[in-house]
Amino acid sequence: MSKKLLLEKAHVEGIRYYDVYRREGGYRSVEKALKNMTPDEVVEEVKKSGLRGRGGAGFPTGMKWSFLAKPEGVPRYLVVNADESEPGTFKDRYLMEFIPHILIEGIITSCYALGANTAYIYIRGEYAWIPDILEQAIAEAKNNGWLGKNILGKGFDLEIYVQRGGGAYICGEETALLESLEGKRGNPRIKPPFPAVKGLYDCPTVVNNVETIAAVVPIINDGGDAYSKIGLGRSTGTKLMSACGNIRKPGVYEIDMTISVEEFIFSDEYCGGIANGKRLKACIPGGSSVPILPANLLLKTAKGEQRLMTYESLSDGGFATGSMLGSGGFIVLDEDQCIVKHTYTLARFYRHESCGQCSPCREGTGWMEKILLRLEKGQGKMSDIDLLWDIQRKIEGNTICPLGDAAAWPVAAAIRHFRDEFEWHVTHPEEATKRNFGLAHYADPLEVAVG
């Protein structure tokens, strides 16, 4: 049984509300930080913990905090990225919906460490019901003296505001998020300057996602050293995983990153195996933007070792044989699923969500969608497969933000590992068309993700 740090109290009745959360030990990290620690000491504990950003990139959180500029007389901000728009990912939604106070507590402790007196939660517009839950939690925290002026009599002031997003996947990119938060169109900014120097309103800003900020609570409560002993190597602490697709038990699971991918998929504690007695075909382990892996490379690394649920193990061998832990959106596909159809679905999504600012992404995502649809309709040619490869190669690394990479990687990985399936669509056009447009039970990963 994996250790639970964030979801340990998730099923306590009434944990959404302040009185129950406080009774169960809530807000201890705020008391400890404000009464017994300096802001720099809090940052050092986060560094010791080895916590890496849980939004996808996996950058060390304490290091990111230490980059924050501290010019005299200039406000600093913490912005919580709750724009959880990565298909296949819904873990942050779970935290905000069922344990909102752990996020509020994490924000208070983090803002104390950063010297920020204002924090924003930028939440995905489609999460229409959750801002009300967060607003209630913020009001409860303020009524009980955890927000406002002179918190705990320590001279620290803080206000938290909830901002509904603009309904765009691109706003999950931190600089596009800041643009949207300022009331502009959510176009990514050219970096440098980075948000730590010139972020929200041109002031020093830290942007972290919901799970990352919530993890600050157990780190301060138990100490950074204790947190670093959970997990393996540089993959410390616990990680929330959103599991969906063709599995018996879809849901949100907290793992300690020492378990194997095989255990995560097939054990009854987690996904419970493949649904309907089918065989495992492939998996997208970290949200729709990371490379898909066929079953043989998913369960074993290129060296023949068991693949573990860690940042390092999942990326072992690079994209030729590995993938990424990413945002923890674990999408499982069984033997009946068509990789070409899934790749088309993802290409359609990324074409729709491209902001259009960069030509390679604006034009390339459209061309990938068109070519994949042509293959799906039984109108493709063998040369289309090479054309797809060439287009994705010219998108990757040539855009302002990572959306171009996110669109290119699924196409590259699908061709790399399942080229024979693309060729089958060319050589068997009538069968391919009938298979993909005639199956009512077809599992679309985007529908699974938002369902």
Taking only the tens place, the pLDDT of each residue in 199-219 is 999 999 999 999 999 999 999
Q: At what angle do helices 339-353 and 403-427 cross, to 10 degrees?
A: 150
Neighbours of 336 (CB within 10 A): 15
CA 223, 227, 228, 232: dihedral to nearest 10 degrees?
170
With beta carbons less than 8 A apart as the criterion, state whether 371 and 388 touch.
Answer: yes
Residues forming beta bridges with residue 284, ordered by sequence position:
331
Q: Which pLDDT value is given to residue 436?
A: 61
d(CA 219, CA 210): 15
pLDDT in tens, 3-53: 799 999 999 999 999 999 999 999 999 999 999 999 999 999 999 999 999
- Read off the amino acid at residue 280: L
Domains and CATH numbers, the chain: 18-225 (3.40.50.11540), 235-313+323-334 (3.10.20.600), 339-450 (1.20.1440.230)
Neighbours of 178 (CB within 10 A): 27
pLDDT in tens, 370-419: 999 999 988 999 999 999 999 999 999 999 999 999 999 999 999 999 99
With beta carbons less than 8 A apart as the criterion, state whether 347 and 411 touch.
Answer: yes
**Considering the chain, what percentage of its residues have pLDDT values greater than 90?**
88
pLDDT confidence band for 2 (50 / 70 / 90): low
With beta carbons less than 8 A apart as the criterion, state whether 15 and 190 touch.
Answer: no
Residue whose tokens read 């020492």:
258
d(CA 85, CA 96): 15
Q: Mean pLDDT score of the chain, rounded to an integer?
A: 93
**Lowest mean pLDDT across 72-76, 205-209, 317-321, 430-434:** 430-434
With beta carbons less than 8 A apart as the criterion, state whether 241 and 95 touch.
Answer: no
Single out the residue of 321, 408, 304, 309 nearest to residue 358, CA to CA. 408
pLDDT in tens, 145-167: 999 999 999 999 999 999 999 88
Single out the residue of 223, 225, 226 nearest to residue 3, CA to CA. 226
Q: At what angle do helices 39-49 and 210-222 cross, to 10 degrees?
A: 100
d(CA 93, CA 89): 9
